[in-house]
Amino acid sequence: MPHPRPFRVLGLQQVAIGGRDKSALCELWIGLLGVQQVGSHRSEAENVDEDILRLGAGSGAVEIDLMQPLDPGGRPKVSEPALNHIGLWVDDLPAAVEWLKQQGVRFAPGGIRKGASGHDVCFIHPKPTDEHPRSGEGVLIELVQAPAELATHLATEGSERA
C-alpha cells in the first residue's frame, strides 16, 4: 500500500487540443462556441504556437489550449494525438513530483518549470518504462501548481460541504 499522499489534486486546470493548423480549432472554440481567448504562447523549444482560452470564471476557470506545431516535422508533436494533454491543479507541486517519483511514475524531460500561463508545471509521461513502470497510461498529464487562493477557495468549499 502506498504511503499517504503529501499533496492534493484540486481540479481540472486545462485541456490542450492540437492540430496541424489551429485555425479550424479556433473557428470552432472561439467563433462557434464563443469561448473567450485570453492569451497566446509561442515556444520554439516546445515546438508550439497556442491560443489560450478560458471557460468559466474565477479561480476555478478551466483553460483550453488550442495548439499547432511551429515545425510540423519537429518534436514534440503537439498535434498528435489531437487531445494533447490534460492539466491538473495540485496544491504542492514539488511534493507531488517527489512522491510520485518514489512510486515509480515516469516524468517527461524538463522537470518543474514555468508553463505558458505562468504557473510552475511538470508532466507525467504517457508511457511507462522498465525503470519507471507507472505513467499516464497513454495520456500526457500536466501537474500545475495551484495558486494559493485556489487552494484556499477549494479547501473552504470542501469544508462547507462536510
CB 63 within 8 A of CB 13: yes
Confidence of residue 3 (pLDDT cuts 50, 70, 90): low
Q: How far apart are CA 81 and CA 112, in angstroms?
A: 23
pLDDT single digits (tens) 103-149: 999 999 999 999 988 999 999 999 999 999 999 988 899 999 999 88
pLDDT at residue number 162: 47
The type of residue at 70 is: L
CB 2 within 8 A of CB 143: no
Domains of the chain, start order: 9-161 (3.10.180.10)
CB 93 within 8 A of CB 9: no
Tell if the pTM clears 0.75, that is, is over it: yes
